[in-house]
């Protein structure tokens, strides 16, 4: 289904979404307390990687 143009559009939207997450992370996760809390909650490596606290 996501072949050709559809896949490219999907990947473009995904990239924009990723940048939105990065901008939010840059603004909100700078606070050490929040970062520490999230790091403590996210014990699983893939979760730590996903929220960028590793």
Partner 1 sequence: MRNQPTAVVLYNWRGQWPLRRWEHQRIFAWKTCFPGRTTFLNIGFPFNPTWITQLDPDLVMVDATALAARYTRVGLGGLRRAMDAVPPRSRRVAAPLDEFLGLQGLRDYLVEARIDLLLTALDPPLWDSVYPVGQRPFALRRFLTSYIDDGLMRRASSDLARRSIAVSYRAWETPAWLGEMGLIKREVGLRAAAWAAARGHRADVAVDGKRKLVGDAWIRLLGASRAVVGVEGGSSRVDPANGLPPETEIRAMSPRHLEAAATRTFQVLVEGDYSGVLEAGSHYQPVRRDLSDIDDALDHSRDPRRAQAMVDRAHAEIVTSGRYSWRTVVAEITDQVLA
Q: How far is the CB of 54 from partner 1 (least distance, A)?
A: 5
Among 13, 15, 28, 31, binds partner 1 (CB under 8 A): 15
**Beta-carbon count within 10 A of 44 CB:** 9
Cβ-based nearer residue to partner 1, 26 or 37: 26
**Which residue, 36, 35, 17, is CA-closest to 27?**
35
Cβ-based nearer residue to partner 1, 8 or 37: 8
Work out whether 36 is an interface residue with partner 1 (CB under 8 A): no
Provide the CB-side half-sphere exposure for 25 (13 A, CA).
13
């Amino acid at each position: 289904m996501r072949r050709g143009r559809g896949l490219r559009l999907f990947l473009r939207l995904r990239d924009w979404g990723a940048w939105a997450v990065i901008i939010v992370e840059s603004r909100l996760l700078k606070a050490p307390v929040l970062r520490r809390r999230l790091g403590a909650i996210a014990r699983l490596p893939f979760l730590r990687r996903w929220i960028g606290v590793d």
